[in-house]
């Protein structure tokens, strides 16, 4: 193991699973409805189905969480299990990122992104984007926010220098993205996902030209790129496999069976892949170099977001 702790958001039961690999006595399940809060009306949590989905880390032990069912974002302290803030935003918030004191959230059913001030934890504005935004990635060097619109053929680009929005027009429907240097990698669906084909492509962010395009049989939920290599791992929710795609002079595709419905996937930057399985309710830890399973960790119902601490 390379991480001390991993946090998993369990969408189906309004909980977080904290796994401490160094000291298992510190591993715990955090029920969001039981959070304390000095200035928060906790009946909000007790009487609502929240649906925690994606997470990012704030300062210290603070965590920001999108609640896809409750249309909200919350700020909590992992140690004290205290609710530090709660904001209603757009419908079905999913992807969340932060940069330069601002938090950006994709509201999939409101066709917008919300911008929150991290210091005051207050909503600054909602910005209209394309239909069903599903992912946000930030180019910290180029100062741009990329938004994948999953129900149309566009990626919106918010320029943080002038706050103007432009678009990249695609022939497929983007759902997930990765930015590395001036390269934008995109996982997309073909034909609205109805004909069971996906696509992995690369676009140069300087000129929006497509360099690589690989059609893939099946419906893939997420992907990671091994930094510094043209090597990708994709989770297939249809057949339970994890696919490994290596791009060189030739394109090599291999796979290993995980079972269930592998969903979100993270790479720790070293040797391990972490994959949530929404059918089996576990977190799989995989050695990236050989595809061997280290262990399966039981988490909560319908796990989605993964945060490496």
Q: What is the pLDDT of residue 130?
A: 96
Would you say residue 1 has pLDDT above 50? Answer: no
Q: Where are the domains of the chain?
A: 90-218
Q: Within 10 Å of residue 289's Cβ, how many Cβ atoms?
A: 9
18 or 294, higher pLDDT: 18
Q: Average pLDDT, whole number, for the chain?
A: 92
Burial of residue 266, with CB atoms counted within 10 A of its CB: 0-12 exposed, 13-18 middle, 19 or more buried: buried
Q: What is the pLDDT of residue 36?
A: 86
Q: What is the pLDDT of residue 4?
A: 86
Put simply, whether the predicted model's pTM sits higher than 0.85 gets the answer yes
CA distance 131 to 108: 8
Would you say residue 39 has pLDDT above 90? Answer: no
Q: What is the pLDDT of residue 65?
A: 98
Would you say residue 195 has pLDDT above 80? Answer: no
Q: What is the pLDDT of residue 257?
A: 92
Model confidence pLDDT, tens digit, residues 79-130? 999 999 999 999 999 999 999 999 999 999 999 999 999 999 999 999 999 9
Give the largest Cα separation in the chain, rounded.
59
pLDDT band at 40 (very low <50, low <70, confident <90, very high): low
CA distance 168 to 184: 11
Instruction: Please tell me the CATH code under which domain 90-218 is placed.
Output: 2.130.10.10
3-state secondary structure of 26: helix
Tokens 């935004």 belong to residue: 133
Hey, which residues does 96 pair with through a beta bridge?
105
Hey, which residues does 15 pair with through a beta bridge?
10, 31
Calculate mean pLDDT across residues 176-180: 96
Would you say residue 46 has pLDDT above 80? Answer: no
CA distance 156 to 202: 16
């Amino acid at each position: 193991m390379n991480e001390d702790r991993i946090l998993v958001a369990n969408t189906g039961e309004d909980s977080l699973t904290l796994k401490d690999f160094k000291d298992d006595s510190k591993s715990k399940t955090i029920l969001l409805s039981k959070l304390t809060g000095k200035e928060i009306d906790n009946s909000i949590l007790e009487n609502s189905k929240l649906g925690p989905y994606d997470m990012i880390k704030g300062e210290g032990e603070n965590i920001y969480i999108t609640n896809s069912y409750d249309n909200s974002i919350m700020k909590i302290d992992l140690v004290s299990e205290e609710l530090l803030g709660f904001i209603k935003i757009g419908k079905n918030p999913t992807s969340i990122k932060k940069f330069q004191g601002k938090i950006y959230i994709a509201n999939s059913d409101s066709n917008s992104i919300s911008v929150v001030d991290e210091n005051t934890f207050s909503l600054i504005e909602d910005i209209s984007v394309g239909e069903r935004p599903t992912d946000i990635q930030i180019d910290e060097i180029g100062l741009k926010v990329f938004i994948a619109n999953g129900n149309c053929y566009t990626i919106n680009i918010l320029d943080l220098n002038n706050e103007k929005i432009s678009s990249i027009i695609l022939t497929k429907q983007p759902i997930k993205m990765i930015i590395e240097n001036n390269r934008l990698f995109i996982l997309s669906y073909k034909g609205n996902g109805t004909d069971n084909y996906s696509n992995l492509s690369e676009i140069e962010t300087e000129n929006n030209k497509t360099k690589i395009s690989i059609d893939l049989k099946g419906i893939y939920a997420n992907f990671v790129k091994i930094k510094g290599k043209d090597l990708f791992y994709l989770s297939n929710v249809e057949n339970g496999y994890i696919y490994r795609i290596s791009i060189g002079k030739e394109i090599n595709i291999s796979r290993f069976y995980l079972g269930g419905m592998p969903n979100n996937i993270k790479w720790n930057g070293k040797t391990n892949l972490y994959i949530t399985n929404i059918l089996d309710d576990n977190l799989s830890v995989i050695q990236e170099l050989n595809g061997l399973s280290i262990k399966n960790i039981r988490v909560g119902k319908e796990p989605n977001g993964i945060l490496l601490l």
